[in-house]
Amino acid sequence: MRFEGKLGTGSTFKADEKFSFKQVPLAFASLPRALRLVWSTSWRLTLVLGVLNILQGIIPAISLSITALVVDSVVQAIRIHNASPLWWPVSLQLGVTLGSSFLSALGSIIQLLLQELVSNKVQMEILKKAATLDLAFFENPESYDTIRQAANQSATQTSIIMQGFSMGQTMITLAALLLLLFQLAWWLALIALVTPLPVFFFSTKYGWKGYRLTRRQSPERRLLNYLMLLMTTDTYNKEIQLFNLSDFLIARFWDLATKLYEQDKKLALRQYFTNFGWSNLSSIANSGIYLYVALQAIAGRITLGGLTLYTQTATQVGSNFRSLLNSISSTYQNALYVNLLFEFLAYQPTIHSPAIAEPFIYPRQSQGLSIEFRNVSFTYPGKDPETHAALRQVSFIIRSGEAVALVGHNGAGKTTLVKLLTRLYEPDEGDILIGGKNIKEYDLKTLRQHIGVVFQDYVNYQMTARENIGVGRIEEIENDELVRKAAAKSGANLIIEKLPLGYETFLGRWFKDVHESTQLSGGEWQKVALARAFMREAHILVLDEPTSALDARAEYEVFQHFRALIEKRTALFISHRFSTVRLADRIFVLEHGRIIESGSHEELIAAGERYAELFQLQAQAYR
């Protein structure tokens, strides 16, 4: 998978192309969109910042002209032995200096505020886009690189606009200075403009190489972050200590960090030594200009103030032109990264609600919703459907209010069924129906509101106990009665009511200290996760290994509640414990992506095939 962003009419910018100056305009194509983003964030601050840059652009030329006036006034004052000619130009110079300082300070404040606002808005846009993406996007390593790099560009959005303003300011300054220099000799301006070009060329070229290096290093830098996460997070700490993994992980981190450092160093040395060599050309040219202007002053063609004016003007023309070229090069580099953000925001999910959604069929109080799979096949992206299909031509019907258990080895396709049922993935072939209608015809949010799911890798939210349960039905998160009722159904109430602040106790230690939070055991967390599913009060209840972390007594108590809870719901649960499985009305046995047996516990035991074999194998462990 490779992302390509459309950067211009009929042109596509690709990350693996070789560098060419033809790419520079393509990379700048994101600048107008970035400006629209910044403008929409705060048009007032953006407008004020633009005006400030225009004012600051003309100040250098005014300041140089006043400096020349001050020098000539000094000469006149010496000649007449009276300081009166100095007061007006010196006062004027002071006023311009103070004004420039004020404009600079005001510009810095506005830029800081604008950058914070834009950063927050970009992060919000990323979160909104992430909320719409398919699960397949997050399970692709290249997609992870894209989303991480996009998230890292929140500050770049503002900086690229600041650079745009800065280029505008520099061009205004440059134009004013060139007008001054043209009064002496046009070819001096030409020399000042030509000599910085080699530095610009190599700076832009190495900026491209730096961008490509960053793209190549992205997976390895994610690995560095992952190693840091392993070493600094409580979830992994106990195993790392018990297996004495610290030295191993630290060594791996250091080896990888050193490798990336060497790559960065090699590029940086080549870039800066090349720039250093070519920048000397400008220094030589400036020295020649100084000499020429000095000779003009000696010959009496210009005054001493003119000498100061033209030497400083020539210097600042070269300096400002180099600054302009550097801004173009830097903006070009930033535009490359900003394009990653727009590529991410342009990504369209394949799973979405239909343009006109079918109304959801609400069952009567005495029943749940029927589920039907018709010849469903599915292979995860990147896998060969011939050899690695997760499901192959699966068909079954779960009647309204029926509880069905899924049994089979790891990788048999049990969790995949749940992912397809909840439209986290779409089947490659076949149809899935709920309440007699294809699930693709329902609004996606409405569909998921009617399915309560607890996956085996459920989330432990670093929030209060009430919030941990309440997120199962977010619109009722503040409804204390519903939260407590859901907790009672899973047995989590017995744990939470003993906590220091009850349902307002913060669970987990990531954001609160030991006096303000509580860390739960695996089984206790699982009861909270179960309560979250019960909080939903959905018509379909799906539990994927719902009691794997519970002891035998706790599991028995949960499923005593479970039978009562699913009495008016359709239930689908996955478990490797046959004491749990036998509570189901029917059992589906999956193997290699197919249902090879179905029936009640008694029927499958009597058949004496795969289910009976698995049951006997587990039963032997208790004899």
Say what the pLDDT of residue 594 is: 92
Rank 114-118, 129-133, 225-229, 415-419 by mean pLDDT and report only the highest.
415-419
Say what the pLDDT of residue 73 is: 79
Residue owning tokens 């001054």: 180
Quote the CA–CA distance of 487 and 485 in Å, as a whole number.
5
Identify the band that residue 11 occupies on the pLDDT scale cut at 50, 70 and 90: very low
Which pairing describes strands 451-454 and 506-507: parallel, antiparallel, or unpaired?
Answer: unpaired
Name which of 208-217, 249-258, 518-527 the model is least confident about.
Answer: 208-217
**pLDDT higher for 69 or 314?**
69
Quote the CA–CA distance of 219 and 144 in Å, as a whole number.
9
Whether the pLDDT of residue 89 is over 50: the answer is yes
Tokens of 87: 């007061």
Number of other residues whose CB lies within 10 A of the CB of residue 219 = 13
Rank 81-95, 272-286, 486-500 by mean pLDDT and report only the highest.
486-500
| pTM given for the model | 0.67
Give the SS3 label for residue 12. strand
Say what the pLDDT of residue 24 is: 63
**pLDDT higher for 78 or 355?**
355
Residue owning tokens 């192959």: 392
Say what the pLDDT of residue 289 is: 67
Domains of the chain: 24-346 (1.20.1560.10), 364-450+584-623 (3.40.50.300)
Identify the band that residue 4 occupies on the pLDDT scale cut at 50, 70 and 90: very low
Say what the pLDDT of residue 18 is: 59
For 277-289, b/e burial (b = at least 16 CB within 10 A) is ebbeebeebbeeb
Give the SS3 label for residue 621. coil
* Pick from 340, 415, 401: nearest CA to 564: 401
Quote the CA–CA distance of 18 and 24 in Å, as a whole number.
12
Give the SS3 label for residue 597. strand
**pLDDT higher for 102 or 364?**
102
Q: Would you say 320 and 80 are in contact if contact means Cβ atoms under 8 Å apart? A: no
Q: Which residues contact 62 (CB under 8 A, 6 or more apart)?
A: 96, 176
pLDDT digits (tens, 9 = 90+) for 141-154: 777 677 777 766 65
Whether the pLDDT of residue 12 is over 50: the answer is no
* Pick from 448, 450, 432: nearest CA to 440: 432
**pLDDT higher for 520 or 199?**
520
Output the DSSP codes for 19-78: P-TTHHHHHTTHHHHHHHHHHHH-HHHHHHHHHHHHHHHHHHHHHHHHHHHHHHHHHHHH
Say what the pLDDT of residue 307 is: 65
Average pLDDT of the segment spanning 68-90? 78
Whether the pLDDT of residue 170 is over 60: the answer is yes
Say what the pLDDT of residue 10 is: 35
Whether the pLDDT of residue 165 is over 50: the answer is yes
Give the SS3 label for residue 91. helix
Q: Give me the phi and psi of 574, to 5 degrees please.
A: -115, 130
Whether the pLDDT of residue 497 is over 60: the answer is yes
Average pLDDT of the segment spanning 464-469? 92
234-to-5, 231, 238, 241, 452 alpha-carbon distances in Å: 39, 9, 7, 11, 29
Identify the band that residue 9 occupies on the pLDDT scale cut at 50, 70 and 90: very low
Q: Would you say 575 and 405 are in contact if contact means Cβ atoms under 8 Å apart? A: yes
* Pick from 514, 469, 470: nearest CA to 495: 469
Whether the pLDDT of residue 374 is over 90: the answer is yes
> Amino acid identity of 129?
K
Whether the pLDDT of residue 406 is over 50: the answer is yes
3-state secondary structure string across 386-419: HHHCCEEEEEEEECCCCEEEEECCCCCCHHHHHH
Average pLDDT of the segment spanning 410-420? 88
Output the DSSP codes for 154-194: HHHHHHHHHHHHHHHHHHHHHHHHHHHHHTT-HHHHHHHHH
Quote the CA–CA distance of 136 and 139 in Å, as a whole number.
5
Q: Give me the phi and psi of 387, to 5 degrees please.
A: -115, -20
- Would you call 574 exposed, middle or buried from its count of C-beta atoms within 10 A (0-12, 13-18, 19+)? buried
Bridge partners of 190, per DSSP, are: none
Q: Would you say 405 and 588 are in contact if contact means Cβ atoms under 8 Å apart? A: yes
Residue owning tokens 């079954």: 396
pLDDT digits (tens, 9 = 90+) for 58-76: 888 787 777 778 777 777 7
Say what the pLDDT of residue 7 is: 32
Residue owning tokens 């220099």: 181
Name which of 3-12, 55-64, 69-78, 116-125 the model is least confident about.
Answer: 3-12
Say what the pLDDT of residue 13 is: 41
Quote the CA–CA distance of 204 and 24 in Å, as a whole number.
9
Whether the pLDDT of residue 616 is over 80: the answer is yes
Tokens of 167: 């280029």
pLDDT digits (tens, 9 = 90+) for 523-555: 888 889 888 888 887 888 888 876 666 666 666
> Which strands form 371-378's sheet, in the order they lie side by side?
391-398, 371-378, 429-434, 437-438
Name which of 354-368, 469-483, 498-512 the model is least confident about.
Answer: 354-368
Q: What percent of the chain has pLDDT over 70?
A: 78
List the Cα angle 92/96/100 in 5-degree steps: 170
Mean pLDDT of the chain: 79
